[in-house]
Every structure is written in C-alpha cells, then in structure tokens.
Amino acid sequence: MRNCIFCGETVSDKTKEHIIPQWLMRLTGDPNRQISVGLKLPQLMDGTLGDNPFRQFSFKAFQFPACSECNSAYSDLEVMTKSIVEKILNNEDISVKELDILMDWFDKIRTGLWLGFMQLNKNIANIDPKFAIDKRISSKDRMLAIYKFDHITDGINFIGSDTFVFQHLPSCFGFRINNYYFLNISFEFIFSKNLGFPFINKSTQIQDTDNFYLELKDGTNKIKHNVLPKPILDGNLHFVQPLFSNKSIICDNKNKNAIKEFYSHNEFVNNHSLDIDLGKGAIFIKKSNQSYEALVQNEKTINFSSLENLSTKFSLDTWSKTFTKMVYEYQNYLIKNYSYLHAYDNETKKSFKKKINFSVHYNKTMVKMYYRQKIR
C-alpha cells in the first residue's frame, strides 16, 4: 500500500505519518528506542523465519506515506489527544467530549496499524483495502475498555494488530500505554441493538459492487444489562458508543438518506445522542458489574479513581497473557460472527471461510505459544 494512509488516494505532496505519534513515543520512554513490531509473517509462511521471529526497528521508522494536507488536518486530533492521555495517566478526570475525541483517536490508530502492518507484511493476506483512516473515524459502533496495571515499566505495546484476523477484519486490538491497557472494538451496528437503537435487520449485497442495501429495524428503546456480544475481563471502565453517520453505512445515497431520516425521527435516539446531526449516539459508560449510563452532555466529567489496580490481583506475567488471550479470542469471535458471509455468493463465501478458518487457527496457536513464554 503506497497510497495516503489518511485518504487512501495517491499521495499528493508526500510526507510521512508516524502511526504511533512522536509525543506518545516520548511519553512512554526513549523516542529512539528499538521496538518489536510483530512477527515477520512473510518469512513465517515461507519457512525462512530464522532465530529472530520478530521485526525490530525504531519507532521513528514506523511511518507510512501521507498527503501533506491530510497529515496537517490530523494534527489537531493529536494535540488534543496528547492532553487527554496525560490526564488519564495522571489519574485526572476527563470530559465526555474528551472521551469522544479519544475514541476518534483510537479509530485512527486502529486503522493506521491495519494499513501499516499490511504494508510491512507485503499484504500477505491479499487484502484490497476499501477504506483508509478518513472513512473509519467516527463511522462504526465502538467500544473502549480501560484497565489499570501499576508496577510496570513505561512503554507501549499493541496487541493483535499483526494477526491474520486483524488483516481481514480490523475491528479489535489491544494497546498498552505505560500502566494503562486499552481494548478497542469497532464494527457497524454491533452494539446498537443492545443499546435500544435501530439495528440492521437484513443486508443484501448489490450485484457487482461492494455496497449493500440495508434494512433497518426499530430498536427496543431499552438498554440491556449486557451490551457487549461477548464478555470481556472484569476490572475495567468501558465505554460504548453507537454511531449512525453517513460514513457508518455502506450503501447508495438513496438508502443513506432514508436511514438518516429513520434516525432523526426516533425520540429514543434523540434523547440518547451526543449529536444527532453528526450521527453520534451517547457514550454509554459501564463500571464493573453495574448497569450502563448514557452520557449525553459533553461537559460531564468521568472519574478514573474507581478503576481497579489489577497488579494487586495478577502478576505481570499472568496479566499480560490474560489480556492478550482476551484480544485474540475476541478477534476470533468477531470474524466468525460478523463477516457478512450470508450476503456473498457461494464461491466467495467458500473462499472466505477458508481464510477465516486459517486466521482463527493462527490466533489459537499464537495464544498457546505465548502462554509458554515468560513475560518480564
């Protein structure tokens, strides 16, 4: 992939984008340090892996092509996110508006890692990317779970971004920033139904295109106690947000306009949204073992003092393996249950099933191998 990592088009006035921003490199250690950036998948697949299976280079080298204008357009997001991350690391409150910005940033990082690893691995999964960062910011239902683990050295880890599942479905990954671990999940309408919002009742692929006609169904107007389709580890604060902007919907313009009207006349949606015009539902917060609360006021603050320090319950070795296992297993769950296989013709369906089975098996194998290692 040599196109712009932001817009997906041929690069204009070429610059380089650091997927992991330089401010975050400095915040988490020596910005010139060497890092492990996933397995060398091409060498793994052709049997030439050797004694050092992990790709190593400096953070500064982890950069990819971008248009100058696109790169500049995202500078404000990085400035705002830097302040928000610093507040979280210092156990300070953040506002709902700041949380919304942070979730936008995770959309950027998740999609950037997907495109970056696709390039690093020479597109070994043979993906034809239909979108770049621009089309994934604030476009799909999303969730961010935050865990705290003290007594660990500063640093960064991204978990699950170098798997075959992630290449086929870049909807779930883990991210460590110093003593905080983040689980990020995003997929179209994945949380909407359980939040009482309208949801997809039926999707039909438009012949000879990658678009779909979507049939929406009114929601129940009730928030379920369990919103996530698959449970995650306890001991977290997690936030779920339904999204329904034009970018959320892969269909033609006529269908998009009808769906916009469908939402704007829904009283429950209007009462549980941050910005109905932008297609941003409320951010729903759930503290461990509590029901969900809809946050609809941008200025309302979120306190992290109740976040459990998991280093009192787990060793670093056990926690690292447990968190990684959760990420890999959630990836497997998503690709097996949210791949729109029913909408494809039999030949495409058969081919993609083989890729799914291989990708799921790879994740299971990696978890087993990881559990045999000693984390220090």
pLDDT tens per residue across span 94-136: 999 999 999 999 999 999 999 988 887 777 777 777 788 999 9
Distance, CA of 254 to CA of 54 (rounded, Å): 48
Residue with tokens 């953070």: 59
Q: What's the whole-number mean pLDDT along residues 168-182?
A: 96
75, two tokens: 């500078």
Check if the beta carbon of residue 326 is closer than 8 Å to that of residue 233: yes
Which residues lie below 8 Å from residue 166, measured CB to CB, with a gap of 6+?
Answer: 113, 114, 117, 160, 172, 173, 331
Q: How far is CA 64 from the centre of its chain?
A: 19
pLDDT, tens only, 12-57: 888 888 888 999 999 999 888 877 776 666 666 666 666 666 777 7
Confidence of residue 206 (pLDDT cuts 50, 70, 90): low
pLDDT at 351: 83
Give the up-direction half-sphere exposure of residue 176: CA atoms within 13 A in the CB hemisphere: 21
AA identity, residue 226? N
Confidence of residue 211 (pLDDT cuts 50, 70, 90): low
User: Which is more confident, 349 or 218?
Assistant: 218
Query: Comparing C-alpha atoms, which of 240, 264, 260 is closest to residue 251?
Result: 260
